[in-house]
Structure 1
Amino acid sequence: MSVRLEQARTIQQQGALSLRDALGELSKDALTTIRKNASVKNVSKLNREQLVDALVEQLPQSLSDELPTLLAMMDEERVTLLEHAAAKNGLVALGEGWTELMTQYWQELGLLFKRTSDQREVMAMPVELIPVVKQQLSKLDRKHIALNTTYLAVVKGMIYYYGALTHEQVGDMTARYPMFEQLQAPYMHIIINYRHYRADLGLNESMVHHYAIPDPSLIVREQSKREDLSFASFTVHQLQQAGKPHFTDRTEAHRLLVEALMQQFKLPQFEATVVADQSEFGIRAGLQLQELMEYVRRELQLNDDHLQQLLPRLIIMFNNTPQWCLKGYCSAQLSKDAQAVKSEEPAKPPVQLGRNDVCYCGSGKKYKKCCMNKHY
């Protein structure tokens, strides 16, 4: 009996996935993608069946050569998944939050394929690749993977505060933090590779942006109008926090709005927080004060009197929330800078304010003691 037949029988007995079975179900295009990603040479003219044979023969060695480069772009999540697969006969159960994009990512690398085992979906590593992956993981410096993980969180934090950045601007931002000089792969390669795995970061040929922005060029265009204004500075820790899933910067202004919604309108804390979170996102993304008021009016079905009661808190929220078009600053910060140079013409109030309401300019003073008399 040949060595290959013996190996195939062993695989079948163990219930593990063979490379031939994994590849045999794929289309020619899918096989070609794997071939290109693994840099398998001299097989571009083969038909589908011949390409399967060639990949079964050559993929383990090709992946052994390519894995160091691939691993240098990965974060802790992906490396840990590979470790688990290699340690558990190639099988990893799919967790809650698993997406088809993740399945596609691993299949296109030729490393993991979706299968059903014991009536549950798993990702399966072909048994021929397990020793290859184990060998390369044993050589891996996990400090570099931890740095990649930090870097990706920081990039997502940048996008939380800035909305959109050109690739060059991302590079400039990266250079602010000396720790990222130790990255083992080019910064855009790390970002692009991550975007193939997760869709919580927007990416096109020239920009990295918030995934919810349909046209990030509008944000970049608005930012470019403020040539004399540098991007707001944040620490690595601040950006890491902002890069976490579902993060909202719940500042004192956010707390005050939640408090008003609970006390004045008897909203449960959860509902009040949702309204404040949505308000924060809207302001960050460019919602103007009048639009914010209309959103809150519709959401809570408020009449004009009730909206006026809430207006001071909305103004505080609006003035103290960082905005994408302001390069991560909030309007109150820029108002203070403008006051420092004593601009000649004060801005008009955006809405009708009462004498005792908090002033729209962000000073924190009552309207009657601040900008009210400037308009008479």
Structure 2
Amino acid sequence: MDEKIDKKTKEALIKAMEYAKAYNQQLQENREKRLWKKVDIPCSLYDAINGLTKAEMDAIRKNYDFKNLSSLKKAELASELARLIPLKFKNVVYTLDKSRYDFIKIVIENSGVIPDIGISAANAEVFMGYSIIFPGLYDNQKVLFMPDELIDIFSSIDGRELESIVKRNTEWIQLTHGLLYFYGVMDAWRVKEKVKKLIGQEVDIKEFMNVMSFACDFYGQANRTPYGYADDRVFDAKKIVEEHKMRPGVDYYPFTKKQLLKAGNPDYIDKTPEMDSFINFLLEHYRLSDQEIKEIASQIVNIINADSKPALIIQYLQSFIEFPSFEFVQQLTAKIMELYNNTRLWVLKGHTPNELFQEERKYLQPLPAEPLKTAQSKAKVVDIVTRTKVGRNDPCPCGSGKKYKKCCGK
């Protein structure tokens, strides 16, 4: 009976997985069709917006924070957005970092239209959501284009001042991503203060939040939550914030600007000596590609930062490699514990467990030797197995065969 149930369950799971795969594929195809619609080039801002769905127009309205437009019908909303966007487009341009700025320059230098260069659907949607660059289908070819009105505005403000702002924004974003890599979650004001201290310049909180809002949407490396900005690997932001509050006496680990800029890269992994030792141990027993090593290191750091038990790392590794012996598992476990205790944790505000342990040891006072000896001789010793008090002349519970007073009771 159990075998029949297992077989039915297995078949149902396979069917469900196949259905989910087909459904996701259909969603992606629909997304592609919706994004790459026929357009005429050159294209005005109104025509570009009028070709969008009402939901896509609403996304633009929200990104620009236009008020009192939600009740308008589609045609009316398109007309109003086309009128209002040029008035606020400068503010959006001032939130760009170097990567997006350079991309827009390429589009403009090619008369406002370029063939699709493999931009992700998500990034195309974000550019469209801020009414900067639109995807379209022209002469049966996927293209990315910028309406003439916006090209004129961008060109009129482009120059040294904008380049300076773009450089500033790039640094703000990278430092924020680096802070979140190590701390997990931080509220906007605290991040702003950290960035201010690192760059040695005042940071306007409103400008900073506008820059990060666009960056969160475009890069997906950080998320906005009710508890502040969170690294995209964070599953439970509330829990991390609560852990931070439980340690009021522990300050955030003082990373250098260089460390944070490095950690702000999307593919960064904190390669500690313990991580290198762990990877070298695996390479002694398995043939692993550079990509596999990178994936293992990344996943293990994520598992540790999710505050999961070290045993979960064993389970993760066991899912794709075979352990040769019990002795190997013992050695592996020791390596994992060493790695765990020397990994920077979100819940510890970027400290490692070992760092906090060493800090706490400074305040521990050694106990006097004599009182300890006296206390030990009078202590009630209990056999863990039988849970009974052990007398001085009873056999020692350690199993040595000696009397307790001659063994552990000395």
Q: Does the 8 Å contact 1:262/1:269 carry over to 2?
A: no
Q: Which residue, 316, 319, 322 being the options, matches 2:338? A: 316
Q: Does the 8 Å contact 1:167/1:206 carry over to 2?
A: no
Change (3 A) 1:74 1:344: farther
Q: Which residue, 85, 110, 119 being the options, matches 1:88? A: 110
Q: Does the 8 Å contact 1:147/1:183 carry over to 2?
A: no
1:160 aligns with 2:186: no
Match of 1:135 in 2: 156
Q: Which residue, 71, 74, 95 being the options, matches 1:73? A: 95
Q: Distance in 2 between the 1:53 and 1:142 partners?
A: 32
Q: Distance in 1 between the 2:330 and 2:57 partners?
A: 63
1:109 offset after TM fit, Å?
2.9
Task: Please identify, of 314-323 and 288-297, the stretch whose mean Cα deviation from structure 2 is larger.
Answer: 288-297
1:235 offset after TM fit, Å?
1.0
2:188 alignment partner AA: H
1:299 offset after TM fit, Å?
4.2
The SS at the match of 1:327 is coil
Change (3 A) 1:299 1:172: farther
Q: Distance in 1 between the 2:102 and 2:319 partners?
A: 46
Task: Please identify, of 299-308 and 38-47, the stretch whose mean Cα deviation from structure 2 is larger.
Answer: 38-47
Match of 2:25 in 1: none
1:87 offset after TM fit, Å?
1.9
The SS at the match of 1:259 is helix
Q: Distance in 1 between the 2:68 and 2:304 partners?
A: 55
Task: Please identify, of 105-114 and 324-333, the stretch whose mean Cα deviation from structure 2 is larger.
Answer: 105-114
Task: Please identify, of 132-141 and 67-76, the stretch whose mean Cα deviation from structure 2 is larger.
Answer: 132-141
Q: Percent of aligned pairs with the same residue?
A: 21
Match of 1:7 in 2: none
Task: Please identify, of 332-341 and 292-301, the stretch whose mean Cα deviation from structure 2 is larger.
Answer: 292-301
Deviation string for 1:183-231 (max 9, x for gaps)?
6953222211212223221212331112132321111111211111001
Q: Distance in 2 between the 1:27 and 1:273 partners?
A: 41
1:148 offset after TM fit, Å?
0.8
Q: Does the 8 Å contact 1:164/1:210 carry over to 2?
A: yes
1:159 offset after TM fit, Å?
0.9
Match of 1:236 in 2: 257
1:186 aligns with 2:207: yes
Q: Distance in 2 between the 1:287 and 1:246 partners?
A: 22
1:254 offset after TM fit, Å?
1.1
Q: Which has the larger radius of gyration?
A: 2
Q: Distance in 1 between the 2:175 and 2:71 partners?
A: 43
The SS at the match of 2:265 is coil
1:204 aligns with 2:245: no
Unpaired stretches in structure 2, ≥5 consecutive residues: 1-39, 368-409
Q: Which residue, 277, 287, 292 being the options, matches 1:267? A: 287
The SS at the match of 1:244 is coil
Match of 2:246 in 1: 225
Match of 1:247 in 2: 268
Q: How does 1:333-372 map to 2 (within 5 A)?
A: 333-342=355-364
1:243 offset after TM fit, Å?
0.9
Change (3 A) 1:31 1:259: closer
Change (3 A) 1:20 1:341: closer
Q: Distance in 2 between the 1:44 and 1:332 partners?
A: 54
Q: Distance in 2 between the 1:162 and 1:179 partners?
A: 21
Q: Distance in 2 between the 1:292 and 1:35 partners?
A: 45
Q: Distance in 1 between the 2:92 and 2:266 partners?
A: 25
2:92 alignment partner AA: L
Q: Distance in 2 between the 1:274 and 1:213 partners?
A: 17
The SS at the match of 1:323 is coil
Q: Does the 8 Å contact 2:310/2:337 carry over to 1?
A: yes
The SS at the match of 1:324 is coil
1:26 alignment partner AA: L
Q: TM-score of the superposition, structure 1-length normalised? A: 0.76
2:105 alignment partner AA: E
Task: Please identify, of 79-88 and 291-300, the stretch whose mean Cα deviation from structure 2 is larger.
Answer: 291-300
2:45 alignment partner AA: L
Q: Distance in 2 between the 1:333 and 1:39 partners?
A: 45
Change (3 A) 1:54 1:261: closer
Match of 1:358 in 2: none
1:113 aligns with 2:139: no
2:339 alignment partner AA: M
The SS at the match of 2:158 is helix
Q: Does the 8 Å contact 1:155/1:243 carry over to 2?
A: yes
Match of 2:327 in 1: 305
Q: Does the 8 Å contact 2:223/2:230 carry over to 1?
A: yes
Unpaired stretches in structure 1, ≥5 consecutive residues: 1-13, 346-375
Q: How does 1:253-292 map to 2 (within 5 A)?
A: 253-263=274-284, 265-270=285-290, 271-292=292-313
Q: Does the 8 Å contact 1:261/1:272 carry over to 2?
A: no
Change (3 A) 1:98 1:344: farther
Q: Distance in 2 between the 1:24 and 1:307 partners?
A: 62
Q: Which residue, 53, 77, 80 being the options, matches 1:27? A: 53
